[in-house]
Amino acid sequence: MANEKTSSLVLRSSIVAALGGLLFGFDTAVISGTTDALKRVFELSDGGLGFTVSSALIGTILGAATIQFPANKLGRKPTLVLIAFLYLISAIGSAFPRMLTFYTHSTTLDWYSFMFFRILGGIGVGGASVVSPLYTAEIAPPKRRGLLVALTQFNIVFGILLAYISNWAIGNCNFGESTWRWMFGVEAVPAFFFLCFLFLNPESPRWLIAQNRFDEGLALLKRLIPSEEDAKAEFDAIQEALIAERSSGKERFFCYRYRKPILLAFCIATFNQLSGINAILYYAPMIFRVAGASRETALQLPMLIGLSNFAFTMLALFCIDGFGRKKLMYIGSLGYIISLAVVGTMFTVYSDQFKASIDRIAAEDAVMVEDMAPTDAQIQVSESAPASDEVAIPKAGIYGVLIGLMVFIAAHAFGQGACIWVFIGEVFPNAIRAQGQALGSFTHWAWNAVVSGFFPVMLGKLGPSAVFFTFCGFMVLQLLWVAFVMPETKQIPLEEMQKKLGIID
C-alpha cells in the first residue's frame, strides 16, 4: 500500500504540473483560429496583425526571464498557482477585452486591452516553460525523473492539438462574430482546473531543504520515495549538492571558455525558429485559406497538423536515446527541406490561382466588420470580387500544401522539437546549466517573436512561395551546421563532453 500511495502521489503531482505545459501549448496555438476576426475587429494591417499575434511572445520572454525570482523566493508550488491565475485571467480578458475599457467603444482602446491580456498569458507560458519541468524534476524519484519530466513536452504538443480541435468545434457552433471570443475564452476551463488541482500538490522537497526547512523536506521525500532509506539518501544528496553550489560561488557565464556551448545553444535555438515552425502553427488556417480552403475547412485542416505533431513527438521520445541527437537532427533537417520545397513549389506552380484566392479573402473580409453595416464601397468591392467557384485551384495544389505541411510538422517533432532542450542541457556544465537553458529559451522566444510578427507582412509583400523557399534555405544551412558543427551528445559523460568542447583540459 505504501508503494502504491507513493507512486500515486508522484504521478498525480507530475500530471498536474504538466497541465502547465498543456496550457502552454493551447495558449500559443489557439490564436491561429482567430487571425481573420482579429484583423477585422481591430482593423489591423498585415503588420498590425503580426504584432498582435506575437504580443504574447513579449510576455513569454518576460516570463521565462523573471520567473526564477518568485520560484526561488516563494516556492515552486505558489509560482505554479500564480501561473494558473495568469492563464485564467488572460483567457477571460482576451475574450472580453472591453472589461478594461467598458466605458468606451473605441476599437483602439479595446486593442490595447486585448494586448495586455495576451501579454499576461504570455508571461504564464514563459513561466510554465521553466517551472513545470523544474517542479516535476524536483519531486520525481531519480529512476522516474526522465519519463515524468517528458510529460510536460507531451502535454505541450497535446495542448496544441486540443487548441486546433477546439477552434474547429467552436467554429461550427454558429456563434457568429463572437466566435473568436469563445476560442480564447474556452481556455479558462482547463486553467481553472489547473488552479484547483495545484492546491492538492505538495511543495518541492528540494526547495524546502534549500530554505532550511529540513524536517518538512525529509517528511515529503518519505511520501514521494517508497523506501525510507532511499528517502534519507536522497535528502543527504540534496544537502550535499546545495552545499557544493553555495561554496562554488557564481561562475561568469559569458567568457571565452564557454564560447562553444554558448554558440551551439544559440544556433540550435535560432534554427528552430527560422524553420518557420511557430509562424505555421499560429497562421495555419490563414495559410490554408490562401491555399483555397473555405473558412470551415481552414479550421479543420490544422487538426491534421496537430495529429502529425503529436504522433511524431511520441515516436521521437522513444527514439532519441537510441538514435542519438545528431541522427534525429539529420532526419529532421532533410524533412524540413523536402517539405518546405514542396509547399513553396505548390505556391509557385499555382501562383495565379492562389493570387485569386488571396483577392477573394480580402474581399470577403472587407464586408465582415463586427457591429457595422457594410458601406457602399465595401458592397461594391464584394460584388466585384471573384466568387468562390471562380477560384478553381486544382486539388493537387491544395493537397500538396496540406501534405507538405504535415511532413514539415513531422520533421520538426522528430528532429528539432525533440532535441533542442535535451541538447542545450547536455552541452553546458553543471555550474552554468541554468544560465545556458535561459540563453536557449530567450533566443528561441525572441526569434519566435520576430518570425511570427513579420510573417503576415512577408506573406503579403513577398508571396507565400518566396516565404516558404526562404525557410527552406535556412534549413539547408541547418543541415550543414548539423553535418559539420553539431557534436553528438548521446550517452557521453559530462566531463568527456566538456573536454570535447574545450571547456576543460
Q: What percent of the chain has pLDDT over 70?
A: 83
pLDDT tens for each residue of 430-482: 667 767 777 888 888 889 889 988 888 888 888 889 999 999 999 999 999 99
pLDDT tens for each residue of 240-276: 867 766 665 666 788 888 899 999 999 999 999 999 9
More confident residue, 147 or 492: 492
Q: Which residues contact 187 (CB under 8 A, 6 or more apart)?
A: 23, 26, 27, 30, 87, 90, 91
Q: What is the pTM of this model?
A: 0.76
pLDDT value at residue 407: 94
Please report, for residues 50, 66, 207, 213, the alpha-carbon distance to residue 69 in angstroms, rounded to integers and kept in the order given: 31, 6, 13, 19
Which amino acid is located at 146 in the chain? G
pLDDT value at residue 472: 97
Which of 164-178, 324-338, 365-379, 471-485 is the least confident region? 365-379
**Distance between CA atoms of residues 208 and 247, nearest Å:** 19
Q: What angle do CA 453, 455, 460 make, to 5 degrees?
A: 125
| Sign of CA pseudo-dihedral 498, 273, 149, 194 | positive
Q: Are residues 458 and 468 in the same domain?
A: yes
pLDDT value at residue 100: 60
Q: How confident is the model at residue 6 (pLDDT cuts 50, 70, 90)?
A: very low
Q: Which residues contact 443 (CB under 8 A, 6 or more apart)?
A: 265, 266, 269, 270
Which amino acid is located at 19 in the chain? L
Q: Are residues 128 and 167 in the same domain?
A: yes
**Helical H segments across 291-427, by residue range:** 295-323, 325-349, 351-366, 376-384, 395-414, 416-427
**pLDDT over threshold 90, residue 319:** no
Q: Are residues 342 and 458 in the same domain?
A: yes
Q: Are residues 111 and 237 in the same domain?
A: no
Count up the domains in the chain and report the number.
3
Mean pLDDT of all residues in 113-119 = 92
Is-contact 385 364, C-beta < 8 A? yes
Mean pLDDT of all residues in 32-45 = 87
pLDDT value at residue 500: 81
385 within a domain of the structure (yes/no): no
Q: Are residues 260 and 286 in the same domain?
A: yes
238 within a domain of the structure (yes/no): yes
Q: Are residues 229 and 277 in the same domain?
A: no
Which of 21-35, 314-328, 378-392, 459-473 is the least confident region? 378-392
Q: Are residues 135 and 196 in the same domain?
A: yes
**Distance between CA atoms of residues 208 and 211, nearest Å:** 5
**pLDDT over threshold 50, residue 112:** yes
Mean pLDDT of all residues in 217-223 = 87
405 within a domain of the structure (yes/no): yes
Q: What's the domain range around 286?
A: 255-350+393-505
More confident residue, 437 or 287: 287
pLDDT tens for each residue of 346-397: 989 887 777 766 666 666 655 554 444 444 444 343 344 444 444 556 677 7
**pLDDT over threshold 60, residue 196:** yes
Which of 16-25, 87-96, 103-112 is the least confident region? 103-112
More confident residue, 294 or 399: 399
Q: Which residues contact 72 (CB under 8 A, 6 or more apart)?
A: 207
Mean pLDDT of all residues in 169-179 = 88
pLDDT value at residue 434: 65
Q: Are residues 150 and 239 in the same domain?
A: no
